[in-house]
Amino acid sequence: MLDSTQVDLIQSTFDKVVPVAGVAAEVFYSRLFEIDPSLRQLFRGDMQQQGKKLMDALAIVVGNLLKLDRVMPGIRAMGARHARYGVKDEDYAAVGAALLWTLEHCLGDDFTEAAEDAWAAAYKLLANAMKGAAAMAVA
Ligand code: HEM
């Protein structure tokens, strides 16, 4: 569970990323493929479109952090789809690291330690829900 201070921090920092979402998505994927070049082959479509989908999904989750139960079915369905894309549990660590790196890159000093901790906790929640649904989908 995230507390309300963490939710505020995540929402206020995400608001600052939204105007530069296109650049953020580009930074994110280049960092991700630097961390793990083998993930590149999982992506088959246009990366600009993919970046937009990622940012839109994040916007929905970030906007609903105080009522996660409302978006949980969507998150779980997304996790199940990711299993079909060939995404493995261990790949979530690279995505989490690339996400935090991107936020730091885009936000500079606004990405405080408390903001980083809050984002890491939120990503863990999201990734665990997706991985749980992926395991169910595969089983
Ligand atoms: C919290 C984490 C994540 C979020 C919010 C997210 C978001 C999305 C969204 C919105 C899509 C569009 C298609 C769909 O909705 O099913 C997508 C596709 C995809 N994601 Fe993720 N994702 C996450 C984690 C990951 C991880 C860990 C990987 C591992 C590399 C990954 C790889 C992919 C791939 C390969 C596709 C399909 C690309 C294609 O169609 O060519 N995602 N993701």
Q: What is the pLDDT of residues 12-26, one digit of tens each?
A: 999 999 999 999 999
Closest CA to 123 of 105, 104, 97: 97
Rounded distance between C-alpha atoms, residue 104 and residue 125, angstroms: 20
Nearest ligand 1 atom, CA 58: 5
Rounded distance between C-alpha atoms, residue 29 and residue 27, angstroms: 6
| Predicted pLDDT of residue 138 | 73
CA distances to 3, 84, 87, 93 from 134, rounded to whole Å, are: 27, 8, 9, 15
Instruction: Look up the pTM and report it.
Output: 0.96
Out of 30, 62, 82, mutate this one to test ligand 1's pocket (max ligand atoms within 8 Å of CB): namely: 82
Q: Which residue has the tokens 């995404």?
A: 87
**At 2, is the pLDDT very low, low, confident or very high (cuts 50, 70, 90)?**
very high
pLDDT of 137 over the 90 cut? no
pLDDT of 75 over the 90 cut? yes
